Chain A
């Protein structure tokens, strides 16, 4: 079945540091890929998405490129801020032979950015 493997956390960085969160996936067919973010005490929000190979999703300075050859969707940001402190979830959506598109999530990576 489908699965998502995310870099283990927690990750602690200083403000303005470079961020990479590793995400790889296993899926049948051609999944869509997502990064969701969960800020402390809040619900889940879509951060960015990519629907086909070589697509780059971007939002709020974050980027991720859909790499079919390496089955990866790593999240990057060039300069993190304290306000980026949150849990980040990599996820995929695929119609694995059925009629429902379901989200499969990674375990999440807690990011803490210190001033």
Chain B
């Protein structure tokens, strides 16, 4: 299965600032996914990122708040913009190991907004 590295692993951020999370995969993948896990909650899909095209956002998530880049087949970034305490979450990057089959996850980026 794919090995996924995320940076930063943890951060404490000031209200109103923005933070960019990086996701690096050790193999070329078509689809990359960004999830949010709020404290004590399940994972919610934010968006799906294809290389060379605009990300597709799920209901309740917008590009202005969570801009995503996907410059190549092994890398993506998610920016959390104008952060508020409600954005305190774990943000996880995920990829399909093969179409429709087990998804690998990064270890997550644990953000606390103060």
A and B are partners in one complex rather than unrelated chains: yes
Interface residues of A (CB under 8 A from B): 32, 34, 36, 42-46, 49, 51, 89, 93, 95, 100-103, 105-108
In the bound assembly, the distance between CA atoms of A114 and B92 in angstroms comes to 30
In the bound assembly, the distance between CA atoms of A93 and B94 in angstroms comes to 13
Q: Is the CB of A102 within 8 A of B33?
A: yes
Q: Is the CB of A103 within 8 A of B94?
A: yes
Q: Is the CB of A43 within 8 A of B92?
A: yes
Interface residues of B (CB under 8 A from A): 1, 31, 33, 41-45, 48, 56, 92, 94, 96, 99-108
Q: Is the CB of B48 within 8 A of A108?
A: no
Contact of A34 among B92, B96, B102, B107 (CB under 8 A): B102
In the bound assembly, the distance between CA atoms of A32 and B100 in angstroms comes to 8
Please give, as numbers and ranges, the residues of chain B lying within 8 Å of A105 by CB-CB distance.
Answer: 42-44
Please give, as numbers and ranges, the residues of chain B lying within 8 Å of A108 by CB-CB distance.
Answer: 41-42
Please give, as numbers and ranges, the residues of chain B lying within 8 Å of A106 by CB-CB distance.
Answer: 42
Taking the closest CB of chain B, its distance from the CB of A87, in whole angstroms, is 9
